[in-house]
Amino acid sequence: MARLYSAASVRELDRRAIEVCGIPGYTLMQRAASAAWTAARWRWPNARRVAVFCGPGNNGGDGYEVARLARASGCAVQVFECESSARRGDAMTAREAWLEVGAVQRWSASADGIDADLIVDGLYGIGLSRAPSGDAAAAISAINAAHAAGAAVLALDVPSGLDADTGAAPGAVVAADLTVSFIAMKPGLRTGRGPAQTGTVELATLDVPAAVHDGMTPVASLFDNAELQGWLPKRSRTGHKGDHGHVLLIGGDHGMAGAILLAGRAALRAGAGLVTVATRAAHAATLTAAQPDLMVRGVETVAELAPLLARADVIAIGPGLGREAWGQAMFEAAIASALPKVVDADALNALAEAPRHRDDWLLTPHPGEAGRLLGVSTAEIQRDRFAAIRAVQQRFGGTVVLKGAGSVVHGPSSLRVCPYGNPGMGVGGMGDVLTGVAAAFVAQGLSLEAAAAAAVTAHALAGDAVAERGERGLIASDVVDALRAMVNP
């Protein structure tokens, strides 16, 4: 399980490696540069012109060391500095070592551009949580322009301009093809703007002894697809539909039948033994024809919903629920039930209007819905997705999934991040599919927290499998069709 550590914790790990384990700081810097340059040579073996941008801190020191390795490899190397503040300590040692073999140039906003096959970003790393300014901001813009024109970009530790703790980017931020993170993985690499800015992420532990982590608490951890085998074991040869749970899906107000159909199909493909759909009577025949495996019931009143609630093992409410009187009535009836619940879409909007705290539900908001739950803007949610999901969980209870790039799951015992998924999944209906999958896993006996983890993982992996044929044009139904392979690890 990959653990994610805050910038402050990584600084402490670095200090322990130096002061407790006796590893010189300059040695760690050289190891970081070696790991980064090795990864770069493997990725871009034909790069011959290298531009290295060095900031004033230790990230810049890593950059000088990479420059030396690139020069030793026969590359033509330019080193640019963006700030005149004095280098000191290990960064100064690295700079002086570089000056024995090469020169430095001061970068300014008036520079013509970057002429290189490979650009190395050693400006800030974890050392910046504000928007870059001045020549550094201009350098980032130039790096990104060269990247758009075909240059490869390697970020050392964290792309400069990206908040290592939150994944927010308050200003200019480097767009990297490869990020080599040092000592420990940072949470900002995996959520928010992180996945869009980092490219491929590799971790170089720098041979720091594992003992330096003793007593250190990570911010979160990453899901691993291998965990699906534990969450979704092979079924008994004598199993039957009653052993695999009964999902009740509630939604599909007038004109919104597609959402509840997607959720129903996803619940079936995720392994629920029985799936009942409670929807508007006008949709019942159409949905039955579209998916005869579903038990579709036309429900116009709470009284008609009651017997369906009595037979279910789990409720999923929200897809296509709408915000009119019918949806509100269905929401109140579902929430009053003692059954475990998956709450999504318009059911979350109803919850935002009448907040309450419960332990028996799984809430699955996207950033806009999370904003409404907390009474803040979507931008505020995205500025710190970890703080946002903690606030939702504290206020509303249960388990929470904050969807988006680097979906975050907060249950009673853990905070975890999904490293899978792709931009092609940013289309309508994808959240409805996740709702169906999560409900199916609860029906099969998983706790809400485990069901959330398994559902987010399987859903994202299915999306990635479909995206192998291209991200543009990917639709939610494609993910439903790919689920079966993911839920049988």
Token pair in block for residue 65 = 């060391």
183 and 245, same domain (yes or no):
no
DSSP H stretches of helix in 397-447? 430-443
Q: What is the pLDDT of residue 413?
A: 83
Tell me which of 194, 218, 242 is where a domain ends.
218
Give me the CATH number covering residue 426.
3.40.1190.20
- What's the CA gap between 27 and 30, in Å, rounded? 5
Is the same domain home to 191 and 64?
yes
Check residue 154 and give its pLDDT.
98
What is the domain extent for residue 68?
A: 3-218
How many domains would you assign to the chain?
Answer: 2
> Are 152 and 235 in a shared domain?
no
> Which of 197, 218, 239 represents a domain boundary (last residue)?
218
pLDDT of 84: 65
Task: Assess whether 206 and 312 both reside in one domain.
Answer: no
202 and 231 housed in the same domain: no
State which of 191, 218, 245 marks the end of a domain: 218
272 shares a domain with 147: no
Residues 245 and 169 in one domain: no
At residue 82, the pLDDT reads 86
Scan for tokens 């409900």, then name that residue: 439
What tens digit of pLDDT does each residue of 226-251 get?
Answer: 999 999 999 989 999 998 999 999 99
**Phi, psi dihedrals of residue 317, rounded to the nearest 5°:** -135, 140
426/474 same-domain check: yes
Instruction: State whether 294 and 145 are in the same domain.
Output: no
> CA–CA distance from 51 to each of 63, 122, 343, 346 (Å)?
10, 10, 50, 50
Is residue 163 located within the same domain as residue 236? no
The kind and range of the H/E element at 269 are helix 257-269
Which regions of the chain are under pLDDT 70? 1, 84-86
CATH number of the CATH domain containing 210: 3.40.50.10260
Task: Looking at the structure, tell me whether residues 208 and 248 fall in a common domain.
Answer: no
368-404 pLDDT per residue, tens: 999 999 999 999 999 999 999 999 999 999 999 999 9
Q: Are residues 233 and 211 in the same domain?
A: no
